[in-house]
Each structure stands twice: as structure tokens, then as C-alpha cells.
Amino acid sequence: MDISRVAEQGLVLLGCGKMGSAMLAGWIDNGLPPASVWVMDPNPSEWLKARGVHINAELPQNPAIVLIAVKPQMMGDALPCIRNFGGGSTLFVSVAAGTPISAFEEAFGTNSPIVRAMPNTPAAIGRGITALIGNEASSSADLDLAEALLSAVGQTVRLDSEGQMDAVTGVSGSGPAYVFHLIETLAAAGQAQGLPADLSMKLAKATVGGAGTLAEEADESPAQLRINVTSPNGTTQAALEVLMDSENGFPDLLKRAVTAATDRSKELSLG
């Protein structure tokens, strides 16, 4: 992040729930002075009060960045306090789900640089991944700044078009819930085979977490990693024949799940 510019002009964080708190912690850990951050939140937490940032105070005249992290249903009440920053050099970055760039252009003007981003919940531990796309008024420097800002909570990827955001929602935005459900059901299956509930859950959590880390860090593809652990006619192959069934296995099930999430994201974006 260009700390000098942000520190000099200030950063406004609109909403400081779980995602806003995770990002704020990352910025401060990366060297952003707390005194250069203004947070607008109707119910500031005790954690936030201890950060040394400005809370619900008079905002700077020309902040470098305004990051919008309120829930979509609160947008109407929250945007008026930052509307006057539109049309200038202030970069608007939104992590609000289901709110398209056009809604912000209507509020701030089409000449305002606006970046829409979709992080996911592992951002809370700095292991998230955020997809982002800017409007036509966003320069490459604006996108670089937004990317640096969002990298405080994990990896970032840039999209080719805003239309891809719904599919991103279906894969990485909603995806952590799919994995959590996998852990639940894997633990329940172990318990059904006679394992104590707490032991089965510990095995399931560590297995999914470890496999995910291995998939990220290994040079081999996930497909090759699967092959590596599958001995011919062994226990893993027996299980995979069930999971990879073309009609009732993971391929069809996850395709339908991601499609359902993507379709719902499109519906929400249309209001």
C-alpha cells in the first residue's frame, strides 16, 4: 500500500464489522498509522475503540480512499455521509455483497474511481482471497492501490468484467461454507463408523485444513495430488468411486451448488 499517500490524506472505513475489522487490523499491522484512519460505525466495538483510530469524527476533506464495508441493506443510510467525496481523486472501494458498480456511480458520479471487490471470510485470519474490478474512471494506479489495500487480508485477483463477480460469489464468496459443511459431514461419517465425536471432528478439521494448505503450496495440481494418494484398489479409490460418481457425486453436486449461488447473486444484484 502507498502508506505515505494514505497516511497524508487519510482513509475512511465505512462500517467496521468482521470484514472491516479484519482489514483494519491488517492495515495497522502493515504500518498504516491509526491516526490516518477514520471509521464510521454506529456501534463501535471495544476492540475498535482500542485501535487509536478516529471513530465517528469529522472526516478529512480529501481522503485517499473510502472503503465501504456496510451491509447492502444499510447502504441507503450510510452513503450520504461520503457522497461529497465523489467526483474528485478519492478512490471508492466497496466490499459490500450484491451492490453493483452502477449503484455507486449513481451515488458518486461516473467520473469517480470505484472498485468493487468480493473478499471471503478467511480474510478474518489473513487467508482470504478477494476478486476486484474497477469502473472506467479507475486508473491502473487506483487498481494497484485497491489491490494493495485488500492484500492485507489475503490474496487478490483481478477480473476481466463485473459480470464475473456472480460466479466468484458462487466459488470463493460462498465457498467457505461448502468447506465447513464438508468438515461437518466428514466428522459425522467418522462418528457413524464408531469414532468419538470430538476425535472425529478433530480429524476432519485437520485433514481438510492440511489438504487445503498442501493444495496451495504444492507444485502438483489438485488432480495430481488426488492421484498421488490413491492406491489402485485401495481404500481411497473405494471412497472416490462414490464421490466421483457422475450422477450423485461431487462433480454434479458442486456444479449445481455453485450454479445456485451464482444465480442467487445475480438476483440480488438486480434488487
* Residues 153 and 185 placed together within one structural domain of the fold: no
| Least confident stretch, 17-26, 38-47, 72-81, 139-148 | 72-81
* Residues 181 and 220 placed together within one structural domain of the fold: yes
* Residues 33 and 60 placed together within one structural domain of the fold: yes
CATH number of the domain where residue 94 is located = 3.40.50.720
* β partners of residue 39: 13, 55
DSSP annotation of 121 reads G
* Residues 177 and 263 placed together within one structural domain of the fold: yes
Extract the C-alpha cell encoding 43. 456501534
* Residues 159 and 219 placed together within one structural domain of the fold: no
Residue numbers of the domain that contains 249: 173-269
* Residues 138 and 230 placed together within one structural domain of the fold: no
* Residues 30 and 123 placed together within one structural domain of the fold: yes
> How many angstroms separate the CA atoms of 54 and 63, rounded?
13
Q: What is the value of pTM for the model shown?
A: 0.90
* Residues 135 and 219 placed together within one structural domain of the fold: no
The number of folded domains in the chain is 2
Query: For residue range 213-258, what is the model confidence (pLDDT) as tens digits?
Result: 999 999 999 999 999 999 999 999 999 999 999 888 999 999 999 9
Percent of the chain predicted with pLDDT > 70: 99
114-118 and 128-134: which strand pairing?
Answer: antiparallel
Phi, psi of 63 (to 5 degrees): -65, 150
DSSP annotation string for 199-230: HHHHHHHHHHHHHHHHHHH-SS-HHHHHHHT-
